[in-house]
Structures are given as C-alpha cells and as structure tokens.
C-alpha cells in the first residue's frame, strides 16, 4: 500500500485516513506497512544524485512562457551546464540515457489489457522533468523509485497513465540495480470510469464519496457496472462471498466506461 502524497499543497486534510478506512470497510486489505511518498524524499534525492553523477540529467531554467505547454522540450538548457544557484527544474537527458543503456528510442511493451504498445521517447516525449522547479519530485521519478523499493512485479492502473509508461520503463532500467531481476515490471492499463464529459470520476470532478456503511451494495453495484454480470442472488450475500466471486470470475473489459 502506497499513499502518493507527493504534492502536499493539493492534498486535502484527512484524505489519507479516509482512503485507508474505505478500503478496510470493503475488506480490501494490503500486505505490510503503508508507504508514504511524503516520507521518501531521501530515496528520491539519492536517485537524482545517481543520475546526475552519470551526467544523465541537467538543470533547466526555462520559464513556462519559454516552453510551449504541449510541445516537446527543445533542449535549450541541455548543454549549458547550469548550476544550482538559480531556481531550476532537473530534466533527464533522454538521448544520453538511451545511449548508456544501448536502447532503441522506440520503447515497446506488451500491456496486459491493451496489447502491444510503443512510444518513441525522442520524438514523442523528449527530455522530461524529474525534479520540478517548485522543489517537488516529479511523479515519474517517485513512482519508479518506489516500485523498485517495494519489489513491484505488476503495475495495474488506469489507462490515463498509459502515456507515462515508456518514460517509466527508461527510469526503471536506469535505476534498477538488482542484476538478477528484470527491473521492468509487467504493465496493465484498465479503462477508466468517466462522466459524460469523458473526465474520470474523482473528487476534483465532484464525484460523490463512497458510503462506507454499505460495502456489500457498493461492491455488487461496481461488479454490475463493470459488466461482470454477478448472479442476482449474490446481492444478499456477505462481503467476503461477493469478493470471492469477483476474484474467481473477473473478466477484463475493453474501452471506456461511462458512469450511469
Ligand atoms: Zn531549459
């Protein structure tokens, strides 16, 4: 169990406790201790130092205006050797990283649910930020450092993160140190539940909170909604019986799912 509270200003007070309580109320338990990203700064810093010492990263002082938001970074600061004295972001030198690992720029992976995927890190992504200008560690760096630390073998998550996977595969190979294990986990991206505007259901989009007092009903409704076709008699069964049915009969679904 990992709480990705890397962006403290955005976090609502009490949100973490509510998430953990909600999971427990639905009998969705986890192994080991909870890992909080807010307490992992030393590990993220070590990763930044490791990349910097191999000269695989560099500081970038470009402002938001210098960068066109959707465009690929033009490499303006790549060879300027900027120091720490000015407020700067840190970017990964993608071309040099690929070269160090002897990798092709086209990163390919077999997604469990979306079949073969590929992305060209040079032409589609470019030198991406691993430490933000505002001092926060970038999501891409933090998740990979934590996945390695927690020995994650399968990353199953929402399809909104499909586009981040190639970058993370590169970081896994740069930061994974156990030579006996493949550093890259298996990835599976599941469809998101969205509202009528195609936005994912979340607090930001004002989706109502889950009622922890009705876990049986919630899980049963979720199974129906996710097109798993639970038998109607399951509706009045215990939470564990419903969950065991789900584990046994779960079938992956394709495409986007609209909320009712
Ligand atoms: Zn720059």
| Structure token pair of residue 19 | 């998430």
3-state SS, 142-186, equals: HHHHHHHHCCCCEEEEEHHHHHHHHHHHHHHHHHCCCCCCCCCCE
Measured in Å, residue 96 CA sits from the centre of ligand 1 at 17
Quickly state the pLDDT bin for 197 (edges 50, 70, 90).
Answer: confident
Measured in Å, residue 67 CA sits from the centre of ligand 1 at 8
Measured in Å, residue 64 CA sits from the centre of ligand 1 at 10
Nearest residue to 174 via CA among 166, 183, 165: 183
Measured in Å, residue 62 CA sits from the centre of ligand 1 at 4
Write down the domain spans for the chain. Answer: 40-190, 194-258
Measured in Å, residue 103 CA sits from the centre of ligand 1 at 25
Measured in Å, residue 140 CA sits from the centre of ligand 1 at 18
Are 116 and 108 in contact by the 8 Å Cβ rule? The answer is yes
User: CA-CA distance, 204 to 221, in Å (whole number)?
Assistant: 23
pLDDT over 70 percentage in the chain: 92
Diameter of the chain by CA atoms?
A: 68
pLDDT digit string, tens, across residues 201-231: 776 777 778 899 999 999 999 999 888 999 9
User: CA-CA distance, 16 to 201, in Å (whole number)?
Assistant: 18
What pLDDT was estimated at residue 43?
Answer: 96
pLDDT digit string, tens, across residues 125-148: 999 999 999 999 999 999 999 999
What pLDDT was estimated at residue 207?
Answer: 74
State the pTM of this model.
Answer: 0.89
Measured in Å, residue 185 CA sits from the centre of ligand 1 at 31
Measured in Å, residue 253 CA sits from the centre of ligand 1 at 42
CB < 8 Å & 24+ apart, contacts of 196-204 = 196/258, 196/259, 198/256, 200/158, 200/160, 201/259, 203/12
Whether the pLDDT of residue 9 is over 80: the answer is: no
Measured in Å, residue 154 CA sits from the centre of ligand 1 at 34
Quickly state the pLDDT bin for 250 (edges 50, 70, 90).
Answer: very high
Token pair 């970081």 is found at 171
Measured in Å, residue 175 CA sits from the centre of ligand 1 at 24
Torsion of CA 147, 182, 158, 18, to 10 degrees: -20
Measured in Å, residue 77 CA sits from the centre of ligand 1 at 4
Are 242 and 230 in contact by the 8 Å Cβ rule? The answer is yes
Across the range 155-164, mean pLDDT stands at: 93
Third-level CATH fold of 40-190:
Rossmann fold (3.40.50)
Q: Which residues neighbour 135 within 8 Å (Cβ) at sequence distance 6 or greater?
A: none
Measured in Å, residue 70 CA sits from the centre of ligand 1 at 15
What pLDDT was estimated at residue 178?
Answer: 60
């Amino acid at each position: 169990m990992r709480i990705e509270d890397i962006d403290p200003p955005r976090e609502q007070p009490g949100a973490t406790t509510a998430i953990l309580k909600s999971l427990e109320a639905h009998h969705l338990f986890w192994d080991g201790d909870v890992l909080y990203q807010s307490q992992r700064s030393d590990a993220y810093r070590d990763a930044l130092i490791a990349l910097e010492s191999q000269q695989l990263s560099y500081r970038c002082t470009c402002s938001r205006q210098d960068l066109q938001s959707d465009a690929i970074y033009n490499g303006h600061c790549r060879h300027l050797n900027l120091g720490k004295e000015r407020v700067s972001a840190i970017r990964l030198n993608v071309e040099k990283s690929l070269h160090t690992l002897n990798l092709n720029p086209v990163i390919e992976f077999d997604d469990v649910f979306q079949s073969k995927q590929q992305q060209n890190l040079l032409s589609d992504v470019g030198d991406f930020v691993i430490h933000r200008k505002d001092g926060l560690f970038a999501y891409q760096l933090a998740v990979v450092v934590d996945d390695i630390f927690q020995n994650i073998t399968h990353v199953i998550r929402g399809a909104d993160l499909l586009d981040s996977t190639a970058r993370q595969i590169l970081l896994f190979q740069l930061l994974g140190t156990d030579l006996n294990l493949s550093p890259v986990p298996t990835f599976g991206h599941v469809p998101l539940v969205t509202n009528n505007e195609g936005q994912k259901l979340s607090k930001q989009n004002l989706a109502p909170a889950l009622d922890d007092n009705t876990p049986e009903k919630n899980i049963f409704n979720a199974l129906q909604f996710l097109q798993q076709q639970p038998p109607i008699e399951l509706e009045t069964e215990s939470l564990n019986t419903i969950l065991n049915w789900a584990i046994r009969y779960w079938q992956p679904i394709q495409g986007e799912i609209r909320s009712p």
